[in-house]
Structure formats: C-alpha cells, structure tokens
A and B are shown apart, each in its own frame.
Chain A
Amino acid sequence: MRINALFVEKILTGFIRGELAKRGFKKGILGLSGGLDSAVCAVLAARALGPKNTIALIMPYGRGFGPDLEDARDTARRLKIDARTIDIAPMVDAYFKRHPSGDLLLKGNKMARERMSILYDWSAREKALILGTSNKSELLIGYGTIHGDLACAVNPLGDLYKTQVRELALHLGLPERIRTKAPTAGLWAGQTDEEEIGLTYDVLDEILELLVEGRETAAEVAARGFPKKQVEKITGLIRRSEFKRQMPPIVKLSHRTIGHDFLYPLERGR
C-alpha cells in the first residue's frame, strides 16, 4: 500500500497540467471542504498550474461546520490560491421549504449537488476545468453523491486509496490537523465516514486492496482473518454502486451506437 509519493506527485501534477492544456484550459477549479482529499488536490493543482491558476470554492452550509470552514480558508491562504466562499444554505433551504423532508441523506445529497452545480457555474464563469477529489476507496464503495461530489472533468485522486492519499498529504506538507481529522462527507454536522461505513479506512483499504488489486474472492479475504460480515458488506457496497462509476447505458437500436461501437478517445486531436 506504500507509495513513492514523489513519483506519484510527479505523475499527478503532469496529469493535471496535461489534461488542462489538451482541453484548452489554463485554470483549474475545485471545491475545498476543509478535509484531506480536497486539500491534497488543491496542493497538486497549485503546483501543477500555479496558485494564480487554481481556484477554490468553499461552500459551507450556513455556519454549521465552523472548523472545516476555517481549515479550508487556511489551506487556500497558505497555498495563495484564489478562494471564494459561497454559502449554500439559502438555495438548499429554499428548496426544502417548498419540499420538506426529515431524511438527512436526502438533504445531504441535495447539498452535494448544489455544490457541484455551483462549481460548474464557476467553471464556465472562470473558464476553469473542474478537478475531482474522490479517492479510490470512496469510488469503489460508492461513498459519494452521483452528480454531486462524484462529478468532475478530471480526477487526479481516483486511483489512490484513502490511506495513500494520507501518505501523499504527508509528502506534500499538509498540516497534521488536516491529515489526522476524521474524514467526513459533510452531509450533516458530526457525521464521519468511518462511523457511517462501519470500518476504519485502514481496514477498509486493506480489504479493498485484496479484493481489487489481489483479485481475491470474499471467502479468500475472510480466510485471512477479516470478519466475514465486514468483507461481505464491502463486496455488497462495491456491487451496488456500479452505477456511480459508469456512464448510463444507451439502448442499442442503430448500427452504430454511442458507447457500443461509436468509440472515440476523449483527447482526439489534442
């Protein structure tokens, strides 16, 4: 699971710089939550594109997450990147005032999509490409909101497990406060990923690596001493979240159908 963080940094900054250049963008934009993943992505973007070409949107829901807001602002200040704070409470509250719900997950998803909607708006205003901040652990178990935080133009972190993102964060010199705080999706106050998933990222990543990299079956992983219930929970999460990792299927009618046999690279001629 250990990585050569210097080499990974070189690849990821090269990826960010190259993707933007190929698509005709100079600037990158991302949502900065105060958590680890977006902070790592912000450092990579600032190093790849320069602080002047990196835009961070900090999008708190009201004043509910004070410490995270401060951490996000602090990260932006230290990186000398352009940061703008937009409170999403007025938009989200206006919606739920008309369509009330007590379901926290529903509300959290709406908030995640509100943030992404604002990111796409500022992407167009600033001519800046959206950098995704979802890591491999989250993507595999589907711990993210489709068209919310899972949306982006390019994703530099999508092939790094959470524990590897932490290792990269240490190499990039992020403060301990951000590296060690409990990861949270920020859907509601006091929420933590590990409590919601029911596993620490250390254990989750170990199991994921055996299943994915090692191509082991759930039974083989359990035979190594991991609780069978935990392993099966994870395989279930992976299976049920496939839709979050793929483009929607198109029903084939013609002789040449998008996604089936109309197959072009994204970077054609660039």
Chain B
Amino acid sequence: MKIALAQYSPVLGDIPRNLDSHLELSAKARRAGADLLVFPELSLSGYRLRDLVAETALDPRSSRTFASLREASRAVALVVGFVEESPLEKGLFYNSAAFLHKGSLLHVYRKVFLPNSGMFEEMRFFAPGRTFRSFPTPWGRAGLLICRDFLHLNAHYLLFADGAEIILAVSAAPGRGVGEENGFTSCRMWEGIGETVSRVTTSFVVYCNRVGIEDGAVFAGGSFVYDPFGRRVAQAPYFEPHLLLADLDPAAVRKARQALTLKRDDRPDITLANLERMIHRDAH
C-alpha cells in the first residue's frame, strides 16, 4: 500500500478554508497513487484555538464538512484531526482524529493524554478521551494516537496489546530547543520514539506532524514512517510543507513478528495483574 502524510499548515479557526486544503491534498495524494492520506492533529481547525474550540467543534456523524470528507474518502482513505462535539455530550469538546474509508466513518479516537503544562493548556479547553482501541482497515489493524499520547508508553502498549499493526500518530508538536543540528532538538525525541516503538511493537509507526507558526509557536514538521523492523522508510523535511509518500508492505508485520516474537510472548494478563496490584495498593 502507498501512504501519504500531509505535513501542512491549517488556517487557525477557518474550517471552510481548511476543508478546501484537505480536498485539494486528497486529490493530489490520489494522483500520486496513495491509498491512505494522514493529516496532522486538529488539521481542520488549527491548534492554538483557546476559546475558538467551541466555535470550531464538529460532529463527524452529521456535519457537512464531514460529508465532504466522507465523499473524498471514496478515492483515498483519510485520517483527519478535528474538535469533536457529539450531540450526546453537548459542551464537551474532544481533540479527536477520524479514520474515513470508502465513504464511511471507520473510527474516531479522542486524545487521552492532554498536555497541560509549560506552553500547553489543552486540559483547559478539551475533555480527555478514555479509550485506546485498534480497528480493522484494508491494510491491517490500525490504532490512532494524537501528539502527546505518543510520549506515553502505555498508549503504544495498549494499541499493541489490542492487535494494532499500524500505529498512526497525528501531531501538532511545536519545535523546542535550537542547537547545532538541523531542526529543533525536540525532533530527535519523536524520531527516537518512532524507531523504538516500531521495533518493540513490530508494527508500522506513522507520524504526521504539522508545520506553520501560530502565535509564535513553531510546528516543526519532520513527519516520518518506520517499518516493523525499526527502519526509517521515509521522512519529511523540518518546518516546510510537504506531501510525504511511502510504500508500506503489510506483509512486513508478519515477517517482523516471526523474527522478533514480542507479540507472541506478550503477557497482557501479567500486565493487568500488576497494574491492579499497584492501583489497589495505592488506593489503601
């Protein structure tokens, strides 16, 4: 399969314009032969929304924006980032990502780990999700993560335990630290985790980060794809818009799991028993 990563810069708070960009990039990805196009975190709304969160919230099941995206997903599957508000939970806003395929909404993931320190204030504006779940796609079981989730070991582990073969992480990660190397020093962190996680989960790791600057925060780009052997398949430049294309061989997961039997040997029961012991001990 061919995957495309849209390392682009949305217009903050302008959903109609961002939808146009999504549709243009989908057409471009399709022309390049892509089966799946991944957009970054909050790709339909922009990131530093603050009180615009409520004004940009969408229900993926009823909104016209999503009707257009579902239509576009008939030609190329899409992962998009957006502010989610469901009619069942009015006034609760989630930082979500949706997987669309052949005109239907295959999966919606709500970001669990909302960063809320230093330059981040997501808990001030968003409600946290609670569920990590893998889901079937034509190219293997996939799991979605959003930005900070990627730094939490348990997020990766739960997707791995739930059978994910492709970890799709969408991000709006600001660059932090300038040293002597090209790119921000924080880029090394994401790349290091990408390599390690792809190796230890024997899964594909796809990381799509955005670019652009919002109120001084510089989104660093540098999107990448690692294969289930921990080898980097593709990487986009830092800071510049880019449509990154990569060929993934879904059979590689099987080979990697034969070579390194971490999935076969995993013991979620032991993990659970130990977590229960720790949680109950702490409760007393």
| Chain B: interface residue total (CB-CB under 8 A) | 24
Q: A7-B238, A11-B239 are in contact. Are A265 and B178 (CB under 8 A)?
A: no
Report the bound CA distance from A2 to B181 in whole Å: 10
Report the bound CA distance from A268 to B48 in whole Å: 9
Q: Whole-angstrom distance from the CB of A6 to the nearest CB of chain B? A: 8
Contact A262 B51 (CB under 8 A): yes
Report the bound CA distance from A14 to B241 in whole Å: 12
- B-side contacts of A18, CB under 8 Å: 212-213
Q: Whole-angstrom distance from the CB of B283 to the nearest CB of chain A? A: 33
- B-side contacts of A14, CB under 8 Å: 213, 239
Specify the main secondary structure of chain B where it touches its partner. loop
Report the bound CA distance from A270 to B52 in whole Å: 13
Contact B218 A11 (CB under 8 A): yes
Stretch of B10-18, B77-85, B86-94, B190-198 on the interface side: B10-18
Q: Chain B: which residue is nearest A263 at the CB level? A: B50
**Which of A3, A8, A11, A265 has a CB less than 8 Å from the CB of B12?**
A265
B214 within 8 A of A: yes
A10 within 8 A of B: yes
- B-side contacts of A10, CB under 8 Å: 239
Instruction: Report B29-55 CB contacts with A as 1/0, cut-off 8 Å.
Output: 000000000000000000011111000
Q: Whole-angstrom distance from the CB of B278 to the nearest CB of chain A? A: 30
Size category of the binding interface on chain A: 20 to 34
B138 within 8 A of A: no
Q: A18-B213, A267-B12, A267-B215 are in contact. Are A3 and B239 (CB under 8 A)?
A: no
B282 within 8 A of A: no
**Which of A4, A11, A15, A270 has a CB less than 8 Å from the CB of B180?**
A4
- B-side contacts of A19, CB under 8 Å: 213
- B-side contacts of A7, CB under 8 Å: 178, 182-183, 238-239
Report the bound CA distance from A10 to B237 in whole Å: 12
Report the bound CA distance from A8 to B182 in whole Å: 9
Contact B52 A265 (CB under 8 A): yes
Segment 118-132 of A: residues with Cβ below 8 Å from B: none
Segment 1-52 of A: residues with Cβ below 8 Å from B: 2-4, 6-8, 10-11, 14-15, 18-19
Contact B213 A265 (CB under 8 A): no
Contact A264 B182 (CB under 8 A): no
Q: Whole-angstrom distance from the CB of A112 to the nearest CB of chain B? A: 24
Report the bound CA distance from A3 to B182 in whole Å: 9
**Which of A2, A264, A267, A269 has a CB less than 8 Å from the CB of B214?**
A267
- A-side contacts of B214, CB under 8 Å: 265, 267
Contact A264 B238 (CB under 8 A): no
Q: Chain A: which residue is nearest B9 at the CB level? A: A18
Q: A268-B13, A269-B14, A270-B12 are in contact. Are A15 and B213 (CB under 8 A)?
A: yes
Q: A4-B180, A10-B239, A263-B51 are in contact. Are A269 and B218 (CB under 8 A)?
A: no
- B-side contacts of A267, CB under 8 Å: 12, 48, 214-215
Q: Chain A: which residue is nearest B216 at the CB level? A: A15
Q: Chain B: which residue is nearest A267 at the CB level? A: B12
Report the bound CA distance from A262 to B52 in whole Å: 10
Instruction: Report A228-244 CB contacts with B as 1/0, cut-off 8 Å.
Output: 00000000000000000
Report the bound CA distance from A3 to B175 in whole Å: 14
Report the bound CA distance from A267 to B50 in whole Å: 11
- A-side contacts of B52, CB under 8 Å: 264-265, 268
Q: Chain B: which residue is nearest A155 at the CB level? A: B216
Q: Whole-angstrom distance from the CB of A155 to the nearest CB of chain B? A: 9
Q: Whole-angstrom distance from the CB of B55 to the nearest CB of chain A? A: 9
Segment 255-271 of B: residues with Cβ below 8 Å from A: none
| Residues on A facing B (Cβ under 8 Å) | 2-4, 6-8, 10-11, 14-15, 18-19, 262-270
